[in-house]
Amino acid sequence: MYNNATFVDAQQLKFLKEMDKWLSTSNFKSEEEHKISIEVRTLITKIEEKGYYYESEAEILNIMRTEYIKHKKNNPKKRL
């Protein structure tokens, strides 16, 4: 199994920061969800520091990305 590295570009870095902020401010239904959010935030920090991620990490990020997008669609920003 290959585990190729993908370097993070500016757009991906921006999205990682948005997802990290979302995870840090979300109220989770269970302790397990809270623990997962902490692990994903730790992963995001490592990726930001290294500047790249591996395929196995991309799978986790894609799952969280899907959840983030669902959340954004179900909770649209209110305009002032």
Residue 50 lies in a domain: yes
- Tens digits of pLDDT across the chain (80 residues): 457 899 999 999 999 999 999 999 988 888 998 999 999 999 999 999 999 999 989 999 999 999 988 988 888 776 65
pLDDT at 78: 62
For 26-35, give one letter per residue: b (16+ CB within 10 A) or e: eeeeeeeeee
Residue 41 lies in a domain: yes
Count of domains forming the chain: 1
* Stated pTM of the model: 0.83
Residue 58 lies in a domain: yes
Domain that holds residue 41: 25-80
Residue 61 lies in a domain: yes
User: Which H/E stretch holds residue 26?
Assistant: none
Beta bridge partners of 7: 52
